[in-house]
Amino acid sequence: MLQTGLTHIESQDAFNKIINENENVMICCGRMGPMCVPVYESMEELEDEYTHVKFADMEFDIPDAHVIRSLPECAGFMGLPFTVYYKNGTVVKATSSLQSMDQITEILDEQFAK
């Protein structure tokens, strides 16, 4: 399990529940590496400000992470983490590798405007 303060997705069932029960979802699928940790930290900081968004993480190496790894939107990704944004259960944006706080908030504001 990832060592973050985020909601952890540990199975495909938990993944389905989160994207089906929340209108706006940001999932960061990665490891505890140097490109992933800053994204998790940004997400933890943003949880209080973006209360209309569900923030969660998923460990890249668990078998059920195929729900993220095999997305067409992630097909060309080379670096971790894979970060996927869902609106009403549909992928609206996906990014890979390190993202700054500004890059993340820009996507959140664009995709999940209040």
User: Does residue 2 lie in a domain region?
Assistant: no
**Buried-state track 4-17, b at ≥16 Cβ within 10 A, e below 16:** bebbebeeeeebee
pLDDT for residue 77? 97
| Residue 81 belongs to domain spanning | 7-111
CA atoms of 57 and 30, how far apart (whole Å) = 8
User: Does residue 1 lie in a domain region?
Assistant: no
Give residue 11's pLDDT band: very low, low, confident or very high (50, 70, 90). very high
Average pLDDT over residues 79-99: 97
CB 59, CB 2: distance < 8 Å: yes
In the predicted model, is pLDDT for residue 107 greater than 90? yes
CB 44, CB 56: distance < 8 Å: no
- Give me the CATH number covering residue 67: 3.40.30.10
pLDDT for residue 1? 84
Domain count, the chain: 1
Give the up-direction half-sphere exposure of residue 86: CA atoms within 13 A in the CB hemisphere. Answer: 22
Per residue in 24-75, pLDDT (tens digit) is: 999 999 999 999 999 999 999 999 999 999 999 999 999 999 999 999 999 9
Q: Determine what percent of the chain is predicted with pLDDT higher than 90.
A: 97
pLDDT for residue 93? 98
In the predicted model, is pLDDT for residue 114 greater than 80? no
